Structure 1
Amino acid sequence: MVALNINSKYDSWARIYNQYWGARYCENNLPPFEQLLQEYQIYKGASILDLCCGTGHMAQHLIEQGYKVTGLDISEAMLRYARENAPNAQFILDDARFFKLPPSFDAVISPSGSLNHIMTIEELQQVFTKVYNALLDNGVFLFALNLEDGYTSWNGVITDGDVKDDFAWACCDSYNSREKIGQFKITIFQLVEKVWQRFDINNLVRAYSQGEISSALECVGFKNINVYERNGNLANSECNDFAIFVGHKQSNK
């Protein structure tokens, strides 16, 4: 296992993700992924790796559907919530670019656009290689990504936030179309020993094209790559804003 920075930047906003975003993302992303798992014959009892699992909401829903789930995330704080939200799942603290797991999963999923946090296509291909190595023969990799047009609405205004007696936060986002890099800034005010403290977090994401992703999957060895729209229907044309990708690890026998 690669040495990790235990003060991962994702630790700082794990509370926000758990309380405001995790369940919402799961509700939005679960239906097409459940549909696709069935279409690709990943049935109850199958072993699934939830890559960049966050606070474990998706893992819990999959367990309730009869799957065996392992979650992997770089943030220990996220995983603390995940262990509470999905007590029957297994969780691993590691980096999606560097983890090493034996071929033991029928499917690897990453439903919430988490892989947009990987900032270069070379590093994203590293992730794909690690996923490929962790899949059993005939296993499938299902993941969602925001593509280039998916960030055009990021214009620097506040998009989310809340105020509590001891905690307040706001999030705003922006996008540089020339660099294909988006950033969402989270400002947190937290009451600590009767003193308000401010924390500012800047998160970067990278927009990719459908062609870049398909080529990177092919380079790693994935076959029969298909692209789906947000609702889980097979894309009839190239997706520009959001896509779900599915690749197969074929048996060499």
Structure 2
Amino acid sequence: MEKVGEQRQNYYGSLCTEMYEILHAEAPRDELAFYLSFAGKGEKILEPLCGSGRFLVPFLKRGFDISGVDLSEEMLEKLKQKAPAAKVVQADILEFAPQEKFHYIFITSGSMSLFTDIDLCKEILCKLKDLLLPGGRLVFAVDTIATRCTDDSTYKEAISVKTKEGFDLILKSKNHYDEQSQTQFSPGIYELYNGTELLQSEAMDFQTHLYRFGEMQQYLQEVGFREITTYTSFSKEIALDDRGEMFLFVCRC
């Protein structure tokens, strides 16, 4: 995930990864079908920000030649447990330097919204374009301003799950939206309990940029992408405004 100086923003640590695996063990069928619809057998495919592999592993099982890259060591450990032979690299996407280029690159789950610094986001778009073969496809999603959360002044329990060991894993979070930067700040504290005994605590600095209609299209054009199509659903409904919860972009270099 994103690095900001010496601080890791949006980094998925051990407790965050554990909760993610419990809540999101498998890719949603409609979302998986959407990304599969742009894949071709025999093509080189890359999934940046692949996380624990809930999309990468189904691609592998269907016989696609796919590689992955993610900054979170904890997430990649989960992926390797599921698919020991998977071609994955732990790296910041801007420092990722593969020997090959790709026909198709996709980023799922609105993860591009994690890059809240717009200049950094443009750098990443340039990097992804450079990783594509001529005529290659980049497909990804971002969150829209329609997903803005209500502001909170204090941390509140948001999610509670049971681990396989029977411990309670709790996420406490709060939200603040900055209108000027269109940034949703959602800092969280993960706590692992055995009964009333606190076993482990982990803080996460979670931030996302919420997009307005036409905003990302402009950035894509600036870095040289063409044939940009914007959807608002996995059923490929064309986006006309920013009232939907996501934008899905399909573009060629």
- Which TM-score bucket, shorter chain as reference? 0.7 to 0.9
State the percentage of identical aligned residues. 20
Tell whether the 8 Å contact from 1:226 to 1:234 is kept in structure 2 after alignment: no
Question: Which residue in 2 is equivalent to 1:113?
Answer: 110
CA deviation map 1:178-198 (0-9, x unaligned): 14222331422256xx86233
Secondary structure of 1:57's aligned partner: coil
Tell whether the 8 Å contact from 1:22 to 1:54 is kept in structure 2 after alignment: no
Matched, 1:70 2:73: no
Question: Which residue in 2 is equivalent to 1:170?
Answer: 171
CA distance in 1, matches of 2:202, 2:13: 12
Moved more, 226-235 or 72-81: 226-235
Secondary structure of 2:35's aligned partner: helix
Question: Which residue in 2 is equivalent to 1:208?
Answer: 211
- Number of aligned residues: 239
Paired residue type of 1:74: L
Tell whether the 8 Å contact from 2:19 to 2:169 is kept in structure 1 after alignment: no
Give matches, 1:178-197, under 5 Å.
178=179, 179-184=181-186, 185-190=188-193, 196-197=199-200
Question: Which residue in 2 is equivalent to 1:161?
Answer: 160
Compared CA separation, residues 216 and 157, structure 1 to 2 (3 A): same
Question: Which residue in 2 is equivalent to 1:228?
Answer: 231
CA distance in 1, matches of 2:20, 2:6: 19
Paired residue type of 2:109: S
Moved more, 108-117 or 145-154: 145-154
Compared CA separation, residues 7 and 238, structure 1 to 2 (3 A): closer
Tell whether the 8 Å contact from 1:190 to 1:198 is kept in structure 2 after alignment: no
Compared CA separation, residues 153 and 212, structure 1 to 2 (3 A): same
Compared CA separation, residues 26 and 100, structure 1 to 2 (3 A): farther
Secondary structure of 2:201's aligned partner: strand
CA deviation map 1:29-73 (0-9, x unaligned): 2122223x1xxxx31222210110010110111112221110110
Shift of 1:119: 1.2
CA distance in 2, matches of 1:236, 1:29: 16
Question: Which residue in 2 is equivalent to 1:19?
Answer: 22
Shift of 1:89: 2.2
Structure 1 gap segments, 5+ residues each: none
Matched, 1:29 2:28: no
Compared CA separation, residues 238 and 100, structure 1 to 2 (3 A): farther
Tell whether the 8 Å contact from 1:98 to 1:126 is kept in structure 2 after alignment: no
Tell whether the 8 Å contact from 1:141 to 1:248 is kept in structure 2 after alignment: yes
Shift of 1:143: 0.3
CA distance in 2, matches of 1:99, 1:31: 27
Give the number of the structure whose residues are more often helix, by fraction: 1
Matched, 1:238 2:241: yes
Matched, 1:124 2:121: yes
Paired residue type of 1:202: D
Moved more, 107-116 or 177-186: 177-186
Paired residue type of 2:142: L
Question: Which residue in 1 is equivalent to 2:145?
Answer: 148
Shift of 1:26: 4.3
Compared CA separation, residues 198 and 159, structure 1 to 2 (3 A): closer
Paired residue type of 1:141: L
